[in-house]
Amino acid sequence: MTGWRWALALGLPLALAAPAAAQQAADAVAPEMATGSSERTVTRASRQMVAAANPLAAEAGLDVLRRGGSAADALVAVQTVLGLVEPQSSGLGGGGFLVWYDAESGEITTFDGRETAPAAATPALFLDEKGEPLAFFDAVIGGRSVGTPGVVRLMETVHARYGRLDWAELFQPAIARAEEGFAVSPRLHRLIANDRGKLDTQPAARAYFYDAAGEPLAEGARLANPDYAATLRAIAEGGADAFYTGEIAGKIVAAVRDHPTNPGLLSLEDLAAYEVKERPAVCAPYRGYEVCGMGPPSSGGLTVGQILGMVSHFDLATLGPDDPESWRIIGDATRLAFADRGLYMADSDFVSMPQGLLDQAYLADRARLLRRPDALEQKAVTAGTPPWDKAELRLPGLEPERRSTSHFVIVDAEGNIASMTASIENGFGSRQMAAGFLLNNQLTDFSFLPESDGQAVANRVEAGKRPRSSMAPTIILEEGRPAFALGSPGGSNIIPYVANTIIALIDWRMDMQQAISLAHLTNRFGTYDLEAGTPAEELADELEAMGYTVRVTDLTSGLHGVAFTPRGLEGGADPRREGVAVGD
């Protein structure tokens, strides 16, 4: 099968039923099932574009751009509508990372709106009375897993720097939609139904997401959210302070601390003290491009950069996407990068990290491990020794990162770019609702085990610390000019989703939609996951012959991206979800 046919393969209905059980057994999460898809072609525009996970959100952002708004203005409209129509993935109760390209200066910067651990949190937060790690959902459901939300302060910070339109008017699309209601999408209905036994055990969530008979809201049912509208109106009038102090903050803290079986530690003081941090972008070279993303507390930019740095020593363009040798190189590079990620990467405000994780000589040395005909033995997949520079050695830990997140890209008429990934972590987060929105469970992105044999784990819980993330919002430059912007949800699979899409764009010369639609193959920890119902399954025998354990499973990314071409903007939206790219 040619690479072209591979790129369009997800235009066909997906066969999903059989592998769903395998994914549940493997990951023990509420599954983010694919919706099936129709054939998609790249979206073209000449001036401005929004690619987002829901058509209502994308259109709200484009309307802001049409009224003369900047990408920062449109970001507020897109995120607030997503929080209404895609509440299981992101929203006011979560956080996010933004990579921003400023057209006037030509500079890229990043904004860290990641959640923080409460001041009262200790490394033992996710240990039971015997000192053993809690089961994942025992930790998630309730207040224990809720970190200080960051997305509202992030929106305000970016708008204050780059916005042009009045702050209050940017909330009107989401307010109107919340008051009028929206039709429950097929995907939202399915996710509600799949979360029985979790979401419906929490009174506020049950009242909102289930009908009077206790059944999941039907596809097409009209769902209004007056509480969300009231919250948005308060933020529109009073700024982010209306969220982080006062009545809304009180409702958040009450939902967290008053949970009857699993209370949390979040306080009014934690909310009032929250700050967004502007951080330098992490940039790595790849075949003449500069790939820029989010640094710690995200592992996304560093790990994507490491994968690309290792595979740059191989001729993937000649091999192509149909050759299992390409996937052996990519898969084992991903495994090696994840070994470094596990040992070294965490919130760098708390843990001193090696400065040489993207050192080209170091990555060339790591790439030598890939010069072999078969899979790396598991014992050989260990962290390397990058240039050190007074780093603090800690241990890898147990952090069962999950997959419910959303990514969008906005390009305005002036050429400013917002590439933002936002999340409440697991599907429906902590399952706790306050003031019309779901609260995150991002604290479960910390390691449940804080130490081993008396040595500290890098990603352990600490007061005020931000949990390690895999979110990888990315902007890629060529000769200093924007070439691509993209990102995805998907838990720790975000990293290979983004890295593989970049390889498809640069090495295999696919357009943005083809690259996004390309069948997924990911290998983070030794097992090679092949996307069910796609041509990826055809490589199973050859990968097994190379020595890999292979699993056919659902790999439901939510990639959205924009390419900058001589013909103008070209946008792509993931056919595995409900998103679109729209523009003028």
Q: What is the pLDDT of residue 257?
A: 98
Could you list the pLDDT tens digit for every one of the 584 residues in the chain? Answer: 444 344 444 433 222 222 222 222 223 333 333 323 347 899 999 999 999 999 999 999 999 999 999 999 999 999 999 999 999 999 999 999 999 999 999 999 999 999 999 999 999 999 999 999 999 999 999 999 999 999 999 999 999 999 999 999 999 999 999 999 999 999 999 999 999 999 999 999 999 999 999 999 999 999 999 999 999 999 999 999 999 999 999 999 999 999 999 999 999 999 999 999 999 999 999 999 999 999 999 999 999 999 999 999 999 999 999 999 999 999 999 999 999 999 999 999 998 888 899 999 999 999 999 999 999 999 999 999 998 765 555 556 555 555 579 999 999 999 999 999 999 999 999 999 999 999 999 999 999 999 877 888 889 999 999 999 999 999 999 999 999 999 999 999 999 999 999 999 999 999 999 999 999 999 999 999 999 999 999 999 999 999 999 999 999 999 999 999 999 999 999 999 999 999 99
The pair of three-digit structure tokens given for residue 262, joined into one six-digit string: 């699993």
Query: Is 99 exposed, middle or buried, given 0-12, 13-18 or 19+ CB atoms closer than 10 A?
Result: buried
Cβ contacts of 229 within 8 Å, gap of 6 or more: 174, 175, 178, 179, 436
What is the Cα–Cα distance from 429 to 432, expressed in whole angstroms?
Answer: 8
Q: What is the pLDDT of residue 458?
A: 87
Phi, psi of 83, deg, nearest 5? -60, -20
What is the Cα–Cα distance from 131 to 129, expressed in whole angstroms?
Answer: 5
> Between β-strands 527-531 and 549-553, what pairing exists: parallel, antiparallel or unpaired?
parallel
Sign of CA dihedral 436, 251, 144, 489: positive
Q: What is the pLDDT of residue 33?
A: 32
What is the Cα–Cα distance from 329 to 51, expressed in whole angstroms?
Answer: 30
Catalytic annotation, pick one of 43, 80, 110, 405: 405
What is the Cα–Cα distance from 78 to 412, expressed in whole angstroms?
Answer: 13
Cβ contacts of 400 within 8 Å, gap of 6 or more: 28, 136, 444, 448
The pair of three-digit structure tokens given for residue 104, joined into one six-digit string: 């006037």
What is the Cα–Cα distance from 514 to 518, expressed in whole angstroms?
Answer: 6
What is the Cα–Cα distance from 429 to 427, expressed in whole angstroms?
Answer: 5
> Between β-strands 451-452 and 43-45, what pairing exists: parallel, antiparallel or unpaired?
unpaired
Helix axes 172-180, 226-238, angle to 10 degrees: 160
Helix axes 55-66, 172-180, angle to 10 degrees: 140
Q: What is the pLDDT of residue 61?
A: 98
What is the Cα–Cα distance from 174 to 57, expressed in whole angstroms?
Answer: 9
Long-range contacts of 462-465 (CB under 8 A, 24+ apart): 462/117, 462/121, 462/123, 462/350, 463/117, 463/118, 463/119, 463/120, 463/121, 463/122, 464/116, 464/117, 464/119, 465/116, 465/117, 465/297, 465/347, 465/349, 465/350
What is the Cα–Cα distance from 447 to 201, expressed in whole angstroms?
Answer: 26
Q: What is the pLDDT of residue 17?
A: 24
CA distances from 152 to 58, 80, 91, 106, 445 (A): 19, 9, 9, 26, 20
CA distances from 94 to 235, 281, 333 (A): 15, 22, 31
Residue 522 falls in the annotated catalytic set: no
Enter the DSSP assignment of 220: T
The answer to whether 388 touches 356, Cβ cutoff 8 Å, is yes
Angle of CA points 442, 444, 448, to nearest 5°: 155
Which structural domains are found in the chain, ordered by start?
295-380 (1.10.246.130)
The pair of three-digit structure tokens given for residue 283, joined into one six-digit string: 């940039």
Q: Which H, E and C letters describe 24-44, residue by residue?
A: HHHHCCCCCCCCCCCCCCCEE
What is the Cα–Cα distance from 335 to 523, expressed in whole angstroms?
Answer: 6
The pair of three-digit structure tokens given for residue 232, joined into one six-digit string: 């948005």
The pair of three-digit structure tokens given for residue 224, joined into one six-digit string: 């209004």
Angle of CA points 342, 343, 349, to nearest 5°: 95
What is the Cα–Cα distance from 540 to 371, expressed in whole angstroms?
Answer: 21
Q: What is the pLDDT of residue 394?
A: 59
Q: What is the pLDDT of residue 71?
A: 98
The answer to whether 7 touches 517, Cβ cutoff 8 Å, is yes
CA distances from 332 to 98, 279, 307, 385, 500 (A): 29, 30, 9, 17, 13
What is the Cα–Cα distance from 187 to 206, expressed in whole angstroms?
Answer: 18
